[in-house]
Amino acid sequence: MRFHSFLIKYGEIGIKGKNRYMFEDALVRQIRYALKGVDGNFHVHKCHGRVYVDCDGDYDYEETVGSLQKVFGIVGICPAVRVKVAEIGQLKQDVISYMDQVYPDKKLTFKVEARRANKRYPMNSMEINCELGEAVLGAFPETSVDVHDPDVKLNVEIREEVYIYSEIIPGPGGMPVGTNGSAMLLLSGGIDSPVAGYMTAKRGVELEAVYFHAPPYTSERAKEKVIDLARLVSAYAGPIKLHIVNFTEIQLYIYEKCPHEELTILMRRYMMRIAEEFAKKDGCLGLVTGESIGQVASQTMQSLAATNAVCTLPVYRPLIGFDKREIVEISEKIDTYEVSIQPFEDCCTIFVAKHPVTKPNIERMEKSEQNLAGKIDELVRTAVETAEIMRVEQER
């Protein structure tokens, strides 16, 4: 079957009252962006509270659906056949041919659901339902009508043109990116942080990201891995501004001056500070991390409190209640898992102590940080100033 259009169903946007146009416009924008690299000519438009993707000429169906399934805000994608508005005799032919091609096995129950947005059409919805239902029954005697729980709900929408559709392909849900401000994601190269980014973008938040590397302790490949991860997340979240910070000097300085079992927490406190600096510079409204309670020593409630204490922006942790297994499931779904498990050291693991503190006390941390007073501000400033900044997006 050749479909000429996709009717886009969206959920929550529908209830957004006076701001609704803003959400719809964002959705249209995101759909256009997602379809940029797909073979075909697409016309994305909104009309009477619906968004349509009309396809001119040949296009790649699988790629189109695949791309649409990555646009947050879409709840369902309905591949539709588009025909000219015509008198009922022709419409019957169109519907019969649709049923014939989409459902090779005719042993099914159905129901016609006509909508007449174009009120100039000479019949009302009920009349159209009856006429088309009869026509299908006549053409395919194996079918039967069930108005309560049909196998196939055959939608016929009469607008400037007629859209015939019956299948709904699920979309990712959420809200269109760009409708809820932006946030700074701490991206590590592990399994969790890309998932945290995905979850945040799903609620319409635009992402920036920051990655800390520690050459020569971490390799160029570890950095490329993180860029790859950012690119995979950007398939959902749109272009990501990625900050790559050289953290080596800060790390070595902490290592030299502070108790080793506190190293990880102190490092994370400085990472949060640096991330927040970038966030504020770019007007981000919060930080995002992939932490989940108790997963590792630096993610106990006490540790989270200790790292949280240095931030003034809210820190969002979308995975806070997730088990590893659940995080892995999402990372597999969004294709980041394979990349995440490549075995490169990240800067959190290189100097990790055998027994890191699991219940750090904030005052103690602050006291340890006094040992760093001599040089740390300068090191942080250098790290911020020398950060490499790049725009990462899906290749198309």
| Interacting residue ranges for another protein, rule: CB under 8 A | 215-221, 252, 255-256, 260, 343, 345, 350-354
Structure tokens at 9: 């169903």
Is cis: bond before 360, omega within 30 of 0? no
Q: DSSP string of 107-123?
A: --EEEEEEEESSTTSSS
Classify residue 23 by burial, with Cβ atoms within 10 Å: 0-12, 13-18, 19+: buried
Rg (CA), the chain: 27
Closest to another protein by CB, 54 vs 249, is 249
In the complex, least distance from residue 341 CB atom to another protein, rounded to whole angstroms: 12
Structure tokens, 11:
């959920």
88-116 b/e with 16+ CB inside 10 Å = b? eeebbebbbebbeebbeeeeeebbbbbeb
Amino acid at 24: E
Give least dist CB 217 to another protein, A: 5
Q: In sequence order, which residues have a C-beta less than 8 Å from that of residue 48 and are 6 or more positions away?
A: 117, 159
- Our CB check for another protein shows the closer of 17 and 216 to be 216
What's the closest the beta carbon of residue 345 comes to another protein, in angstroms?
7
- In the bound complex, what is the minimum distance in angstroms from residue 215's beta carbon to another protein? 6
**Least distance CB 343 / another protein (angstroms):** 6
**Nearer Cβ to another protein, position 256 or 326?**
256
Pick between residue 141 and residue 216 the one whose CB is nearest to another protein. 216
Residue placing its CB nearer to another protein in the complex, 61 or 217:
217
Distances (CA, A) of 14 to 17, 28, 145, 237, 372: 8, 14, 31, 21, 53
Confirm if 239 and 393 have CB atoms less than 8 A apart.
yes
Q: How buried is 243 (Cβ within 10 angstroms: 0-12 exposed, 13-18 middle, 19+ buried)?
A: buried
| C-beta of 221 vs 367, nearer to another protein | 221
Closest approach, Cβ 211 to another protein, in A, equals: 16
**Contact (Cβ atoms closer than 8 angstroms) between residue 346 and residue 218:** yes
Task: Pick between residue 199 and residue 258 the one whose CB is nearest to another protein.
Answer: 258
218: which DSSP letter? Answer: S
Measure the CA–CA gap between 137 and 89, rounded to whole angstroms.
Answer: 15
Rounded CA-CA distance 187/349 in Å is 15
Complex with another protein: residue 198 or 211, whichever CB lies closer:
211
Residue whose CB is less far from another protein, 120 or 354: 354
